[in-house]
Structure 1
Amino acid sequence: MFISCIMSSATERTLRAVRNYDARLPCGQGKIFLDGPDAYVLWVKDDEKFLYRFPNEDTVAKSLNPNNIYGTSCVDTDHCYDDTSLLLPKVGDNDAGKYRCRVHYQGSSSVDYVVNLQIVEATGTPKLFDERGEQIVTPYVGPLTLGSNLSMICEVVISEPPTTVVWLRNGVTVRRIVSDKPGILRERVDIVEASRDELDAHYQCTASNADVTDAMAASVVVKMYLPPLKVEIRLNNNLNFEVGQPRVVDCVVVGCVPTPTINWYIGGTLLKASAHKELHDGNYTVSSLTFTASKRDNKKWLSCRVHNAYLPTIYEDNVTLNVGHRPTCITADIRMVGITPGEEEEISCAVKSSEPPRQFKWTFPDQRSIFTSPTLVPGLTNTYTTTLTWVPTNSDIGRLECSTENEFGEQKELCLYNLVLSGAPTAPICRQVELPPSEDIQISCEPGWDGGSPQSFHLEVRNSLGEIVHRDANTSGNFTLPTDVSTTDNLTVTTFAQNSRGKSTEQSMPLRSTATYYQNDRRTTFWEQVLILSTVTGFAVISAAAGIYTIISRRRDQRRNRLEGLFHREPDFAQERAQGSVLECHQGSCQNLILSTCANVAIPVSSYDNLN
């Protein structure tokens, strides 16, 4: 009696649920918070049947709240439900009735909420049609282009009013209508002069004639073909491309739908990129090109062209390339420079640079630095020089570095100098240049070390008496003797180098005059011919003698082989002597003769012929 008296004071409200669908009954009008571990929510039906308690064993085990303050963490009430609500799966007629939700607070009085649940038939599922009356059966509509129009109609069959039909765009209600009559309800929504905001817009039509059952819904997504909002080649404000150095260039395309085709061009020629990648991130498409510039690319346009396959226009961005190189030292070798501590010295440094260098930096062995200004060398392209003037000290002996930088970066290979104490130069290596007899004699000298100071080359021509008949000096080391000297015999040439610190040792060599050169040339030619003729004749004689000797030897060997097998009669010495013929004697038949007599017997060649 006490319980029923308290329950009778609770506020009641009537809610409807759709047959054969899940229903979720809320406890109260808003969010329920429990103020302690002993607080709880209790659901009963018709004040008799216990249905649900919160919190329960499952919720206690899952709770992470140190103060045991229970409540929903849901924000979107359309998709997330308070754990204090009551879920009725697939309701039927037996589920109709009165439901009571009692909230027992730990520090205050309990509160009751009563729900009278009614069961109704479901309204029809919404169907979507376009302005031509054709049903939209795909999950998207379009594609649309900028400025185009679109109308969509939501059709709902109402069986048990009242029924509410709502059009939502991205979750926001744009149209709402409530019908109290059964029949077919059509509700229209229009997209006028579509803008970029309509891209991927979610349109949903819902129909509901219940309070605690999810509404019937049909939805589509708007697709669009959009040109790019922006095409930009990003170089971080650095248009300088160093020759031979690869560099990554990005082309960023914003707002192009669908993903565009991106091509790179240099001076109107399509690039075959050594490395190319694309990144699609929502509304952005990035094409990265690894580009290695050459000198011929200077002042050419680098273009990024964007094409949407569904739109006719091509969009592009262009930049003008500034191609160059860092400063490079003109002299690759280490230059030896002689210095005298306490005396003023000058050293020049020259580089090739596509852009004017900023300044030159001279670094001494003790890491002391001096800066000088560059000067363009007149008549030479991209050649710059600078001069260092200073008074050296003993600490300057060693390696001196000269370097600079321009817009493309610092000089990689430094100009190097080896500072040594200055002295006299080394002797040059000189030789007489062989020329035709009709021309004057020339002497060419290859310089040695200059001693660290500018040097000059000296030439003296002396006759057989040691008298100087000609003297000359210059800085090139190349000399041409006058005609009267060139035609004189028995001359000697002496050469040496000299600088401010002294002179080198003298080198001497005999001078061949033009007349001597001509005679020697003719004599040499004649004797060469004689030598060749003699050599050929000698070889011919030797070859002929060897051939004759070989023939005779072969014939002699053949006859000896034949005589070995012949029958010989005993010679009649008396008869042979009487006839005055030469005694013929064979070694095998001279057995009865005195050995000395047989040894002196001459055997003519004709005898061998008779034997044959």
Structure 2
Amino acid sequence: MKRYKCTFVVLLVSFAVLSVFSASPLDEDVEVELVLTREGNTSELPCNLQVTHPPDKVSLVEWTKGDDEQPLYKVDFRGVQTQVVPKPEGENRLSLRLVEDKKALLVISSTKVADEGLYNCRVDFYRSQTTFTHVNLTVIVPPQGVQITDELGIPIKNGVTKAYAAGASLILICVATGGKPLPTVAWSRDGEIVTNVTQHFPERFRSQNILRVPELTRSDLHAVYQCEVSNSNQQPPLIVKVTVEMFLRPLEVTLIDPFRFNQTFSAEKKYELICRCKGSRPPPIISWWKDGIPMEGGTISVSADGNTTTSTLWFTPQASDDGLVLSCRAANQMVPHSELRDSWMLKVLYPPKIILHLGHGLQPSSIREGVDVYFECQIIANPKVTRVWWLRDGIRLASNASAGILVANQTLVLQGVSRRSSGNYYCESSNTEGTSRSVPFQLKVKFEPVCGEPNNRKVLGVAKGEPVKIECKVDAEPAARYFRWSFNSTPGISRILKEHTANAGLSILTYQPMSASDYGTIQCWGNNEFGTQRAPCIYHIVPAGRPDPPNGCVVANITHHNANITCVKGFDGGLKQKFIMLVKVGDTEITNITSASTDFEVGNLDAATEYTFVVFALNAKGWSKSGSTLMARTLAAPGLKELRRSTVQSKETKLKGPWMYILLAGGSTLIVAGSIAIIIFVVRRFKVDSPVRERRRSPKRNELSLGPSIQGFTDAGTDDKNPDLIPPPANEALLTAGLIPTAPYTITTRPSQKRNCATQMPVKPYHVTWAPILQSRNCATQTPPPHKESSV
């Protein structure tokens, strides 16, 4: 600043000297005093009153201006009173002030620019020589205005420049208008002069200084430059400040791992990702990218100082993201080529992804019984799988060479597949992320039709004139769509049946027997692209009859008040049957239960009571002849006092011991031996030569009521009077009650030349068959013989 002031003073003195010499041609030895003043201020022009030869005195002081001989201001001391003669236009503004006896000051109040010039002070003495004092008055006019513009001449508004990018050049021009003399212009920053090179343009009354910053740096952000304009030390300089605004590129971009998952993710889980950018002005645009493809979302937040910008993204990785590059990019759109990025290589852990397919060269449509099939399990997982399982229909498979199943890690081999190999096959594997299962592969082993019935045979009881629908279910792959039906009767009549409908795997035949010859065997064959069914489905059409009673009844479970009874079904007589169980205590019927199956559950029983359970079968033709009888005792109720069992056998106990069974066995043996003897005697007496006799019908035997709750049911069928059948003797009362079953055997006479159907051995004339009549068949037609109840 001192250097600046010295320069300014030198300029003013030079200007004053030039003004003096231009005003009047003075001698070089004449001294000229310089007086500087500001327009409007009070100016004091000194005049020397020093007496050369004392005690001489001043007689006259006279002020003139320039070449004007007319005194501007005069003071005459020669009279009684001092006379002041000011110039008319200088009245009230000019005055003389004496400073002791050595100096007189011409005071000009409210100095104007017109007052500027060379003033001459003439001093006359009474005796001494007249002296002259020359004073050059310079009136300083401050600048009228200061303006700062950019390199394009656009004024800077509000003291802030436009935004410059880092690296750009800055040019600011400070222009001062008016001022006398023309002022100097200087640029400074932080109190230090940057440049003071002033350009003057007198013709335009302007002065200017250009500030040039070749390359802006980050430190220039919000830098304050000031332009100082001054043309006198009489007043402080004019100062105008300007602040530099800048666009800054990002300094750094960082992906933050807040949970320290080390860039390792689990698929389908949600993670919070944070990207932080520093140093950008204005705040940058932050974007998320995955494998070069922009991602949507992200929440932006900016710090209070505007220096840090944070973007938060909720990210749910997928298994397919493993190995891809996740990046965060930050760019200041106001600064070209300012993009910065930070990237991660994604490590995504996921459960196994499994693809199951047939081995090379195998076609699903050409797999048939007997061929070898193998599956391949293609697994993609991260981390690696620890176990691999093979499943069929949800059941895991293990290697079994005897069954033709070979499991080798990711390969399954089925040797010589059969129809039982069909099903849905899976490949299952697991790793630390979980367990996965492949899409099921449905293996369909092609095979020719086979009958869908369990034993390929079925007996159907049908009444004359009654139509029946026979369903022929055939298992085949692909399903059989073509069927053939045939009928064989006992006399050897065979014919093709065409009155049927066919669907995939099922054919329905509507059959109506009208005479005895229409009863026989119906066979059904299915056909698909692999051939015709080898063993047909066989349906024996027999006259409908009463069912056989259930057998093998046992107590499945018994408690204090409940009992579960299970029996085995007998022959249903060719019709749909149901079952009735009578519950008795002694001879008194307690209740009866009707069921579609032979499993009964009885409740509300009394504890510690012995019950009798009798089970019958019933169909549209009537009741079975007798029922299966079972006796059981319920448990004692808890808390009841029970009788103690004695360890000493009583007489009754002794009688009921093994001796009773020995007596019963002996009696039974005697009865059987006697019966056989009677039969032999009768046969020999009548000399039967032929097994065929005229059938005579025996009188009908009325069915007795089974109980009060089932009265009204009567026998729908009648018994044939067959001379070849000799019923065993039985107690009529027991037979009427249904507690004694009929004999499970028949006695027939056969000629010696006949042979057994099963062994083809000669049959004795009198052959005893210990089997139910329903199980014997005709040797020629393999059909059951007529039922003794006119049902079979």
TM-score, structure 1 normalization: 0.34
Greater fraction of residues in helix: 1
TM-score, structure 2 normalization: 0.27
Which structure is richer in relative contact order (CA contacts within 8 A, separation 6 or more)? 1
